[in-house]
A and B are shown apart, each in its own frame.
Chain A
Amino acid sequence: MEEKKNSRRSFISKFAPATFWGSLAVWGGSLLKFTMPTLLPQETKKIKLGMPTDYPNGTIKVFEKDRVVLFSDSEGLFAISTICTHLGCVTKWTGKGFDCPCHGSKFDSLGEVVRGPAPKALKWYKIDKLPSGQLSLNLGESVDFGKKEQFYV
């Protein structure tokens, strides 16, 4: 009996510091998790585009403030972000492609990198069709590169 008690005591004595540091680690983890933001205070940006018929084949529309360019070709509608994938500068639509003024990256008319340090193609945004038939450009969601949307009127 006595021995059992002793052994329990020695067990506790042995593991107490370990549990102490363990508990501090768990607490520290919770503190770290606390610092990670879950929600970003950004508006869910959606641009109302109007009816699909407003964008006939060959339309190019630059939304300078929203940093996006909308294209329409025979395969459908697509929207390319003008934010450079290198370090976030805003590229400029030249009519043939996108030029980044910061470190000289160049992208072709689909946003694929052709020159410079940019690691990947420009982001493509999602275009939704609302129940009313209107189109809406969702800046909160991107789609795979090259995914053009066909909207039949």
Chain B
Amino acid sequence: MSNQVENDKKPSGLDTFLTNLKHLPQSFKDAAVRHGPPSSNRAASQSVFSNLFLHIHSVRTHRYNFKKTFTAGLGIASAASFIILVITGILLMIYYKPSLLEAYNSIKDIHFAVPGGRLMRNIHRWGAHIMVLAVFLHMIRVFMTGSYRHPRQFNWVVGMVLFAVTLGLSFTGYLLPWDQLAYWATTIGAQIAGSPVEVTDALGITKILDVGGMQMRLLLGADVVGEEALVRFYFLHCILLPLILTTFIGVHFWRIRKDGGMSRPSVITEDMLLGTPVDEVAEMAFPTKNKTYGLMCLVKGDSNNVKNSPKQTVQSWPNLFNYEMAIFILILAILIVLSFVSDAPLKEAANPSVPENPAKAPWYFLGLQELVSYSAFMGGVAIPGLAVLGLMLIPFLDKTRNESGIWFPDKGEKSVFKSSAIFSAIVILVTLVFTVNFGWLRNWFPHIPQIIIVLVNPGTLLTSLFVWWSLRILNKTGSTRLGAMAIFTCFIIGFVILTYFAYQHRGPNWNFYWWPSLWPAH
């Protein structure tokens, strides 16, 4: 090079400039993307860890992670629906006006006069449902495969936070269209927030310490759902909760890496890896257990890759990314198809003097609403609070370090799962049939104090039965894992049955009906 320069003597400044100009695209690309095309494994690896957006993935991914029957892609599906929700949500903010007068009208405008607006809103609405569903199923998968176990206890807790925030996001978004559905579902939600007043009333300390009222006012900015509530919900839905969710998603992903990647069993035979991508080069290149590429850092976990051979791994680029792209586009396709099939509901404009009857919460809260119909505090605050707390504490109460990463890893789990499912289903059905036919304490003793209803109602009865059942399992088997499995199963089954029941069989005045078509006209 230097010779040439000398030979040519002074290249004119203009030439240099023109040359630079000619190379501009290439040099800009080199500066922005510091690695070449992923033509080789090495280049692909480099691409992964030198790219901000890709480096949350490890360079190589264990083939077990691709096993469809293991993860079912639920975590990625949750993240994908969140990304879609963020994109559509941001765009909807262009047209949405968070004011009492305009909120409803702006939704109508989005529906009628904005190009693709109807589709956008439908995708957002369906995305919310799909995300809640995916997060919920993801949680079940993680529990059933024992993946919360050491060293992933904390990530389980983070997951619970994500679950709660997801529900919160969905709930706050419910109010924004300011239609009848929104108004009354939110009113009920706010009343649940205010339901500790039941307990403080019973204790006679409401005047001194009105926890329920404080919570409600914090949520609504007033005593009733109005413009203040709308602005607060808008802020929660568009700023605070997404911020929290994004942060915790980051933590969640980061912890996956730091806790040693996805959980997997200690011994993985080739049979278990059927249908997963294969890296033939790696198979040949690393016959031994020795790992040859550089140690990036020390990470915790038994399934640490440091000691193991990369034999059962494949390059993340392109295998993992294809997997992720596929799930993303699958979710998008599902959402778009659903959006064409069914419009997001938009009822009459909110009318505080005409209650919706029945005023039903979004489906994932319907199980709670059923419990709330017995006691607002127990159904709306205490039982779900205990359930979430209990779920969070599972990894710290069940410290067994058996296998994880496979379904029902411990002995007897499957049978405990089955018996618990049957037990809880029977108990719930009996309770529901009983209450629908015979009512509850208030129907028999009209002047019974509220505190007794708060303490003794179908919700607390079921909860106690579940606790009793799991303690019994715990005692009988001596395994904390099986005890946890029992109570987890009971709650999941309870959630599903109650949700179904409230969705399908509760009509106006929260009365029992076989089908919605049997509801009276008003």
Contact = CB atoms under 8 A, between A and B. Distances in A.
User: Do A and B touch, yes or no (CB under 8 Å, in the complex)?
Assistant: yes
Interface of A: 16-17, 20, 23-24, 27, 30-31, 33-39
Given A17-B325, A20-B325, A31 B87 contact: yes
A153 to B, nearest CB: 41
A33 B116 contact: yes
Contacts of B116: 30-31, 33-34
Best-surrounded residue of B322, B329, B332 (most CB of chain A within 10 A): B329
A27 B332 contact: yes
A35 B116 CA distance: 9
23 contacts: A16-B326, A17-B322, A17-B325, A20-B325, A20-B329, A23-B329, A23-B332, A24-B329, A27-B332, A30-B116, A30-B119, A30-B120, A31-B91, A31-B116, A31-B120, A33-B116, A34-B94, A34-B114, A34-B115, A35-B91, A36-B115, A38-B114, A39-B109
A9 B87 CA distance: 32
B119 to A, nearest CB: 7
Contacts of A34: 91, 94, 114-117, 120
Contacts of B332: 23, 27
A20 B325 CA distance: 8
Contacts of B120: 30-31, 34
Contacts of B322: 16-17
Main secondary structure of the interface of A (DSSP, over half): helix
Given A31-B91, A34-B120, 16 more contacts: A16-B326, A20-B325, A20-B326, A20-B329, A23-B332, A24-B329, A30-B116, A30-B120, A31-B116, A31-B120, A33-B115, A33-B116, A34-B117, A35-B91, A36-B115, A37-B114
B113 interface: yes
Using C-beta atoms within 8 Å of the partner chain, give the interface range for chain B. Answer: 10 to 19
Interface of B: 87, 91, 94, 109, 113-117, 119-120, 322, 325-326, 329, 332
A55 to B, nearest CB: 38
Contacts of A24: 329
- Give the 10 A-B CB pairs with smallest separation, nearest first: A33-B115, A34-B116, A30-B116, A39-B113, A20-B325, A34-B91, A34-B120, A20-B329, A33-B116, A31-B91
Nearest to A31: B91
Contacts of B109: 39
A35 B87 CA distance: 12
Contacts of A17: 322, 325
A31 B116 CA distance: 8
B325 A35 contact: no
A1 B397 CA distance: 57
B134 to A, nearest CB: 20
A22 to B, nearest CB: 10
A33 to B, nearest CB: 5
A16 B426 CA distance: 48
